[in-house]
Structure formats: C-alpha cells, structure tokens
Structure 1
C-alpha cells in the first residue's frame, strides 16, 4: 500500500474543474493507475480525499495498492516548479499500529442510514444532515472499525450533552453533480469531515479501515481516514 499527497494549484482552471466535480476527480485519480485491474472491493482499494488547510492550501490524498503516477495531474492542476507529489510506502506505518496507541485522525465521509417512511415500503438511504447525527454515525461504527474516539475529561466538557468526545464535525457539504449512469443523471452527495483523536482497540480492524475505507461513496472522495501524531496541529 502507498500513501500519496499532491498539492493542487487552485489558480489553474484544471484544478478548479476537478474540485468542482467528485466524478471528475475520481476519473483523474483512477487515471494514475494504468495497470490497475478490477479487484474485490472487500480488499484494499484506491481511496482519495481532498483537504483544505487553514493556510488556504488544497491537498489531494490517495491511498492505493499500486504506486500512482500523477504526471497528468501535475500538468493539469499542479506547478511545474514545485515538488510534484510525495508517495510513501504505507506498509511500515500500518504494521506498527498497536492496541492502545492514540492518534489524531481525519475522515471525510458520507454519513447515511436506511429508513422506512411507511410500513411495508422498502428502506431508503437517507443522509444524516445535523452534526449530532453525523457524529453518531461515526461513533456507531468505531468498534467494528478498530478504534474508539477518545472521550474528554469531565472537567473539559462545556455542554451537558454532545460534548463528550474529542471530535469535531466540520466542512459539511451537500453536493450535486451529473453522472451518466445515474437514473436521472443527477447525484446528490452529503459529506462531512471528522477531526478528532482515537485510541486503537483492534489493530487488524483499523488496518482494514485505513486501506478499504469507512462508509459509502468511496469513489467520490469519502471513506479515507488518515492518522497523525496525537499532538498534530492539523
């Protein structure tokens, strides 16, 4: 597995086009793997995420089984004078994960749930749209995903409810874009970014989460969780 970071030059029209369409970004990411063959989606797969930093920088992160070649992205949306991209072997880091480790994490996800509006009707996927429900979506998956979100000490909680965890939900978006294979040609996608701290409870399960993604809409920039030292300022 490989972890890659590429900085987008938002002054270029090619970068703005990619950032405006998850489908266009997905196509650009998958074009980085000319020899990649279809595989079992239950195993490691290509995941990607766009991060916007406090310094107005925009980075594309990719986790992938083969090493990517982002030459086309440099030409379309990068800088010819800047370092092109950084790719690291992910396996050594993954192998060092251990129960009890504490890490800062970031995840952009598509928090949805299945509901039935009337008895007898089929269930329908519906997006969680409030921070509280989006946070609940993540917390309900943490055990199976191999981690638990760190709880705040009681004296640091500012609210009687909803402030128990070292977890922030931000950059909540409701995006719509066209897709030829969609029934009506339009795809609606609700996303949210989670920043927080976690403790590793099951290293093998967490390794699967980091390499196969969490939740739905992985083709559209959701599901990629990354870890950083717990004292990271990101």
Structure 2
C-alpha cells in the first residue's frame, strides 16, 4: 500500500474544478492507477482519498495498492510525495496505541417502523455519528479511547443531471489496536460508504503520548 500527499496549485483552474466536484476528483485520482483494471477499478486499485484543509493550504491524500503513476497528473498540478505504508501495516500489534483520522459517510438504513421511508439511508450527526464510528472502529480491530468529530463540506457533483451529495464527518482521536489483521484490512479497503468520493480513508500514526 502507498500513500501520496499532493499539495495542489490553487492558482490553476483544473485544481479548483477538481476540488469543487467530487466526480471530477474521483476521475483525477483514478488516473494514478494502472489502466485496464476493468469493472470495480477503484476497488482493484485500492484507491481511497481525503481532502484536508491545513494551515498551509489544501492537501489531497491518496492511497493506492501499487505505487501511483504521479506522472499522469497534469504538469504543474501540484507538488507530491509518496511513501510505502506496508512497513507501518506490518508493524501493527494488539495493544498498540495509535492516533487516527478518518473522514467518513456516517449513515444508517431506516427500519420498517419508518413506513414509506423504510430501507432508505439517513445521515447521522453529533452523538449518533460518533456512536457509528465507535461501532465501525470496534468491528475493524480498533478500540476508540478518545474522539472528536467535525462536519466537513459535503461531497457534491456539479452535474445537475447526476446530482451527488454525500455528507462527511471527520473523526480524530486515539485508539488501541485489538485485532491487527482486521485493522490492516480496514486500512486497505476503507470504512463505510462513498469511498469513491473522498470517504473511508483511515490514517494511523503512533500515539504521540
């Protein structure tokens, strides 16, 4: 697994277009994968991404199964650095204390008691969203110790013929590894829905404490 940090040049029109349209950004990051992957190309390539706003500007994190083809980005699109995640994943052990970050599409499917709305997805916020993350983390080998959450700008498409909107909540905190194998799979495959649109990428670092 590989992680690439891209700092896009915000003076360019194409970077603004990508950042404003989740479909265009999906198409952009897919150029980093090899050609000819066929159906479910994103899953085969293991592509997940997250857009972050930092004190130094906007940053795009892209995770791939194979080393990304950075040369496929337009000349001058931005600066980038890539590193191999596999040593970090191989080093995971039960009981290890980690800091985590994930931007996720926290939703639930409505039960039959909701009548006509039964089976539809509804977005979660506040404590419900945090409970959603705690449950997903536990199911994926990570016991949450501390947690803060913040609603992010929704992922949207600019194509009115195919409107897309996914709510995004970012979860940050510390956690303890309970099952390294489950956690490795969660990092590789992502967690939750809307993975093609900037959700599900789980980042882990050794706990600074």
Matched, 1:188 2:165: yes
- Whichever of the two has the greater Rg, that structure is 1
Distance 2:6 2:169 in 1: 21
* Aligned pair partner of 2:103 in 85, 101, 108: 108
CA distance in 2, matches of 1:121, 1:26: 30
CA-CA distance at 1:72 after TM superposition: 4.0
1: CA distance, partners of 2:36 / 2:166: 26
1:67 corresponding residue in structure 2: 67
Query: Which of the pair is proportionally richer in helix?
Result: 2
Does the Cα contact within 8 Å between 1:13 and 1:77 map onto a contact in 2? no
Confirm or deny: 8 A CA contact 1:14 1:76 kept in the other structure: no
Distance 1:188 1:202 in 2: 33
Per the normalisation by structure 1, the TM-score is: 0.80
Please list every run of 5 or more consecutive structure 2 residues that lacks an aligned counterpart in the other structure. none
Q: Does 1:214 align with 2:209?
A: no
- The ranges of structure 1 where at least 4 consecutive aligned residues each deviate by more than 6 angstroms after the TM superposition are 39-44
Q: What does residue 172 of structure 1 align with?
A: 152
**Cα drift, residue 168 of structure 1:** 1.0
Unaligned runs of 5+ in 1: 79-83, 151-165
1:127 aligns with 2:120: no
Question: What is the CA distance between 1:120 and its match in structure 2?
Answer: 7.0
Give the SS at the match of 2:154: strand
**What's the counterpart of residue 176 of structure 2?**
199
Q: CA deviation at 1:35?
A: 3.0
Separation in 2, partners of 1:44, 1:148: 28
CA distance in 2, matches of 1:196, 1:39: 35
Write out aligned runs for 1:1-234 (5 A): 1-35=1-35, 37-38=37-38, 45-53=46-54, 55-73=55-73, 75=75, 77-78=77-78, 84-116=79-111, 118-119=114-115, 122-128=118-124, 130-150=125-145, 166-178=146-158, 185-231=162-208
CA-based RMSD of the aligned residues comes to 2.3
Deviations 1:47-67 (A, max 9, x none): 1111111x1422111111111
TM-score by length of 2: 0.88
